Amino acid sequence: MLGVILQLFLVFVITCLTVVYFFFRKNYGYWEKRGVPYEKPKPFVGSLSFLMRRSFWDVFYDFSKKFKCDYFGIYMSWKPALMIQSKELAKQVLVKSSDSYQDRYSYAGRDDDPLGSCNLFTLKSPMWVQMRHEVSPMFTGSRLRNLTELMNINSSELVRRIQKDYVENKQPVDLKELFSMYTSDTVAYTVFGIRVSALKELTSPLWLITRHMVRWTFWRGFEFTMIFFLPAIAEFMRLKFFSQPATDYVKKLFEEVVAERKKTGESSDKDLVNHLLKVKSNLKLPAGSDAKLADDLMMAQAALFILGAIETSSTTLTYMLHELAYHPEEQEKLYQEVSAALKESGKDILNYDDLLKVKYLTACMHETLRKYPPVPHLDRICNKTHQLTDELTVEAGTPVYVNVVAIHYNEDSYPEPEQWRPERFINSNDSDNHDFAFIPFGEGPRFCIGKRYGMMQIRTAIAQMVMKFRFEPDAPKVVESDSYSVILSPKNGGKVKIIPRN
Ligand code: HEM
């Protein structure tokens, strides 16, 4: 009897393995059959054999060196996906034919993860269309003018912290952590209107949560990798965009701020809570939806602003300081331009309009975002079959990735792309994508909604720091990236020598 059971079990296992084998073999012939160059897949993992060992950023960089073509095929485990490397095709997918590529491929979350499933990044059409329309006016120039005041207050705090910890107490520098504290404080102030200062006291509850959100442990890296690149597995494993403690904390914070505003009758037009509440009252929810959907939608946007605002900007600030340290002439020029702007304005600190006029600051920031785009790829899923080129038709259901690193390192657009040269962006303004050769914030209907906010919080911090300190190199020129992080993140936090001016 035992022998028969064992035999049956063996037959079952062999049948399953055979089905799986033929399933993968059939899928792995997808690009070959269409005459598209492709990355040779490894059994089961496809093109993802590097996972958790190398960063996505480095792999996208290697792709750009290996495949000198406009597009090629990869396999996200069993699923064929298209990788785009030319600015012309990027424009086609992101803008001209965006109606065929409306949503992101990444996992959209489940009902038991409202903050993960209702935020603008993960929302799918048609709900995304409505939310985007309602939320966009939150980031207009006049709002940013107010928010810049709050960013400047935190930038002054940042300067004080650098002076105390690194100059006076000579503590070891961790730029990524320092700038995450700054962006975390800024987001608390600009979104919720609350003054909690991680820069002042490390026990700030918001910092404990945000640090957890942006700390790339093996598990957090694994969760985000599945959410972005293998959404079917993320769904199967019920992974969450925001952890339970982060969800509970954001909800509590949001509710407390709203209750306080109701109680005191105070409203502040400087932060974003009031605008979110106005959006809530305008929302037209699908018939029969749960009453708490409107609340979830508001809190989800607040949670996403936290995540979006902290990680990307702190990474950019880290790499910008690293490059300035290695480029003393450019650093001096930046210092001179900020000094001149201060003199001309007659103020101690530059405001929104003054900062936009410091062209060299913009050039240094844009060149940093060119060389180190924090998000190395833009993902979409083809929602209706589309003829992308004369030779290539993209079938509905195919994930499509734009390799931002490949576009930013294209030698025709940027000769000697490995060099950091702000001169490439002299006279560049924030809305110029240089004919699609510069897309660190994505493009088209789903481009980054916090683009101008992100750039302004980088400007206020750099403008205040260069006036007080000089920076010199204190780490190898090539910064190793964190292999657990899906976006660019320096492996050891990043450091520079900090010398007070006068
Ligand atoms: C240096 C700073 C930043 C960079 C480099 C950056 C980059 C990006 C990129 C590449 C995307 C995807 C765009 C696409 O798919 O076409 C994105 C989306 C998004 N970002 Fe940012 N971001 C930054 C700062 C911010 C800030 C400060 C916020 C919020 C306050 C924010 C909120 C968002 C949101 C909500 C989306 C989703 C938009 C949608 O799908 O409608 N980002 N960001």
Work out how many domains the chain is built from and give that number. 1
Whether residue 315 lies inside any domain: the answer is yes
Give, for ligand 1, the residue of 117, 312, 448, 489 to mutate: max count of ligand atoms closer than 8 Å to Cβ.
448
- The residue type of 371 is K
Residue 308 in contact with ligand 1 by CB distance below 6 A: yes
The pLDDT, as a whole number, for residue 210 is 79
Whether residue 4 lies inside any domain: the answer is no
Residue 375 in contact with ligand 1 by CB distance below 6 A: yes
* C-alpha pair distances (Å), 426 with each of 360, 362, 405, 454: 7, 8, 21, 20
pLDDT tens, N- to C-terminus, the chain (502 residues): 778 888 888 888 888 778 777 777 788 999 999 999 999 999 999 999 999 999 999 999 999 999 999 999 999 999 999 999 999 999 999 999 999 999 999 998 877 788 888 899 999 988 899 889 988 888 888 889 988 998 999 999 999 999 999 999 999 999 999 999 999 989 888 888 877 777 877 667 778 777 777 778 899 899 999 999 999 999 999 998 888 888 888 888 888 888 888 787 776 667 778 888 888 777 777 777 776 788 888 889 888 888 888 999 999 999 999 999 999 999 999 999 999 999 999 999 999 999 999 999 999 999 999 999 999 999 999 999 999 999 999 999 999 999 999 999 999 999 999 999 999 999 999 999 999 999 999 999 999 999 999 999 999 999 999 999 999 999 999 999 999 999 999 998 999 999 999 7
Residue 450 in contact with ligand 1 by CB distance below 6 A: yes
The pLDDT, as a whole number, for residue 369 is 98
pLDDT, one tens digit per residue, over 323-346 is 999 999 999 999 999 999 999 999
Whether residue 289 lies inside any domain: the answer is yes
Annotate 220-254 with DSSP letters as a single string: HHHHHHHHHH-HHHHHHTT--SS-HHHHHHHHHHH
State the Cα angle at 174 between 456 and 450, rounded to 5°: 25
Which domain CATH number covers 205?
Answer: 1.10.630.10
pLDDT, one tens digit per residue, over 387-413 is 999 999 999 999 999 999 999 999 999
Whether residue 324 lies inside any domain: the answer is yes
Whether residue 390 lies inside any domain: the answer is yes
Query: Contact 116/251 with Cβ under 8 angstroms?
Result: no
Whether residue 228 lies inside any domain: the answer is yes
The pLDDT, as a whole number, for residue 143 is 85
Query: Ligand 1 centre from 128 Cα, in Å?
Result: 14
Whether residue 223 lies inside any domain: the answer is yes
Instruction: Indicate the angle between helix axes 293-326 and 359-371, nearest 10 degrees.
Output: 100
Residue 304 in contact with ligand 1 by CB distance below 6 A: yes
Question: What letter does residue 480 receive in the DSSP assignment?
Answer: P
The pLDDT, as a whole number, for residue 139 is 85
Query: Contact 345/354 with Cβ under 8 angstroms?
Result: yes
Query: Contact 430/452 with Cβ under 8 angstroms?
Result: yes
Question: What letter does residue 425 receive in the DSSP assignment?
Answer: G
Whether residue 475 lies inside any domain: the answer is yes
Q: Write the residue with the smallest CA distance to atom 11 of ligand 1.
A: 448
* Cα–Cα dist 487/500, whole Å: 32
Domain hosting 392: range is: 58-500
